A and B are shown apart, each in its own frame.
Chain A
Amino acid sequence: MPETTYVKAVNAAMAKAMREDERVFVLGEDVAEGGPYTTTAGLAEEFGVERVINTPISESAIAGVAVGAAQSGMRPLLEIMFIDFITLALDQVVNQAAKAHFMSGGQLSVPMVLRTQGGAGTRGGAQHSQSLEAWLTHIPGLKIVMPSTAADAGGLLASAIEDPNPVVFIENKTLYFRREQVEDEIEPVPLGRARVAREGGDVTIVALSRLVGDALSAAERLAAEGVGAEVIDPRTLVPLDLETIVGSVEKTNRLVIAHEAVEHGGFGAEILAEVQAVAFDHLDAPIERVGAPFAPIPLSPPLEDDYIPNADDVYSAVRSVLR
């Protein structure tokens, strides 16, 4: 099996879509230069700067351009370089893209993908490291994707590009360069279907993005102690594959939800509420959440390392629900 990385899988999915569909084009800051993480490297060389469009630092306008182009029949792939900057594009994402189909009585659709990346761990400080996905999951009309592996990044991006709705595709910068074995051809992964990353019968861990790796590490440690942890990666937050999560909880009777975002108001709260509403009788312990503290992300390396939720935190949460 060939080896690839998350960033290469994202890049390859975009290139494949651009080869197959002339309506697909890329726009964003520095995209023709490959961007800070090389996600768009080589695209301008292959497809020209007419289809790989460098933009000024104007997040509001370029998001609007993507919406207008999408509802005029194109398939824009908009890159917002850091999710922290999506604040500047939110009018277009929330008020325009998400609602155009609905408000027009179904006349318009906005088949655009807004690719961005979040996550701490690179000493980026509080404005280049956030995990802001929960805000976006609150907006009807948007689909929200957060892949944790290279295969899923490539496969989900292919599906996101095909989707007739606005999709926010949230990558994680610390996952970009991890090596991973993949199939010869990365197949599209449907939106709205969770992946069971590890099977187990004693506790369910639902983990998002970077925390999937941490959950798997915790599961290894738990296995050595005789505890079978099932790790589920929802992969898309909207639509959410509640069925797979609930099915697992009905088997294990215990649930831990782990994400890098601030725990307070994080998407874990939504998963928790939805699970307890339908599976309360199956739960043998209160659901535990793992997330970052209610504070901006610090720069100082030891403080940042301590701030980010990790495998130890997941392990402790599992131990707590097993008590």
Chain B
Amino acid sequence: MVRYVIRRLMWLVLVLLGLCAITFILSRIVPSDPAACYLGPRPRPEQVEKVRVQLGFDKPLYIQFAYYLRDLSHGDLGESLRTHRPVLQGIWEHLPASLELMIIGIFIALLVGIPLGVISAKKENTAVDHLSRLFSVANVSMPAFWLAMIFQIVFFRWLGILPIMGRIDTVVSLVSPVKEITGFYTLDTLITGNWAAFKSALSHLVLPSLSLAAYSTGLIARMTRSTMLEVLREDYITTARAIGVSEREILFVQALRNALGPTLTTAGLCFAFMLTGTFFVEIIFSWPGLGTYTTNAIFLNDYPVIMGVTILMAMFYVAVNLLVDLLLAVADPRIRLG
């Protein structure tokens, strides 16, 4: 087990090195001058020259890459060319908003997806099953940004019951400001007992997290259905039925427990995928998270930010994969890691 973890971690380092190399090379092929970028509009040539030397852009590419890796190993992702603030700090400030969205999103996906899959498997090839499968495929096929916009039209424009911009109502945040402890507004307001802000933060979360959850819901329902179908055909289920265990217990306890493995793997990957999914949802809902931070950087050609986010996200993605594998091995003694 320990050896397996070590091997996976070494693999992770290799993967990240590869990713760094790819993004680094790509970001430097483009004919944009990072030094000019650093100085803002209309810099004087001698200024540009000075900054170029100062930031090391005059050195050959492989030396620049070596410098980047050296800084990276100290946890330094460089500083933004535009704001001149450390990239890591920027990411750190924007991360909680995205994470809050993702955590609520994955909960919604699990709460809707698993029961849907179980019922679908139970009623295989009936109208209920067909409908739920149609629902799953539709969820997976929906562009998140489009779903988000439809939600805005229906729940804001037509029904007028839910807000669509930002994390909290401006008036509420002025009257009863959120004291940031964890950066998760719902949690912070709950801890401080700031009910008005809590209600506002929660209502702002509904539509973005639903849009983010749609894709994962479909995938989880789908995966649960297919594993449940397999498990329900096994002998121990027949035995359980024969000795008179109630159908509900068979479905949701006996069978589901054994079908949960692949579902949780899927959920883990979905959670990791949501990091990119938030890009689209955040744009639509003006959500001040990582997605907004990154898309702004993309349009400003702020390559240290683009690279920093890419590397951290890839790290997160690979780490979640590893964690899911390990959790499964711990939960299920039949799995041996080698």
Asked if chains A and B come from one complex, the reply is no
Chain B contact residues, CB within 8 Å of chain A: none
Chain A contact residues, CB within 8 Å of chain B: none
